[in-house]
Amino acid sequence: MRLFVNRYYPVLINVYTVWILYLLFFASFRYSPTVLFEIKTVPFETIDEYSTKVIQYDKIAVIKNLLGNIILFIPYGFLGILFSKLNQFKWLFLTFFIIINIIEFSQYYFKRGFADIDDVILNTFGAVIGFFIYKKWFFIRGK
């Protein structure tokens, strides 16, 4: 199994990253005359808005925004397979936090949505969940 992971994870994560970047920057829903281009800097504001006013919103949109932002980034918690430094939580967290901030502000700069600190929080949380799954999986596999 380890050989499979070591051989195919690099290919899979690269293909996955291209797909994620497509979704974040080029998918047709990313640009619309009704999309606001702003920077949201208040932590948990969007999350709170979605969770407290869920009745007013399309439930699928709420699930896609909240859970999607977490689930889509879980595979990045496994980056320690490729980069040994990212086997340490602090390096994975810091690296991913910086990268996702760059992506969020790039979306704003290129008018492909808005930069939202809640997206940074949710995406980073997804990578953290992935990291702990990865660590648990390798701990169990190592026994």
Block residue for tokens 């293909």: 15
Opening angle at CA 8, ends 3 and 13, nearest 5: 135
Please give the Cα distance from 68 to 88 (Å, whole number): 25
Query: Tens digit of pLDDT for each residue in 6-45?
Result: 788 889 999 999 999 998 888 765 555 555 678 999 999 9
Please give the Cα distance from 6 to 26 (Å, whole number): 30
Collect all residues with Cβ–Cβ distance below 8 Å to 138 and sequence separation of at least 6: none
Domain total of the chain? 1
pLDDT at 137: 84
Query: Tens digit of pLDDT for each residue in 85-98?
Result: 999 999 999 999 99
Neighbours of 90 (CB within 10 A): 9
pTM: 0.85
Q: Which domain holds residue 11?
A: 2-142
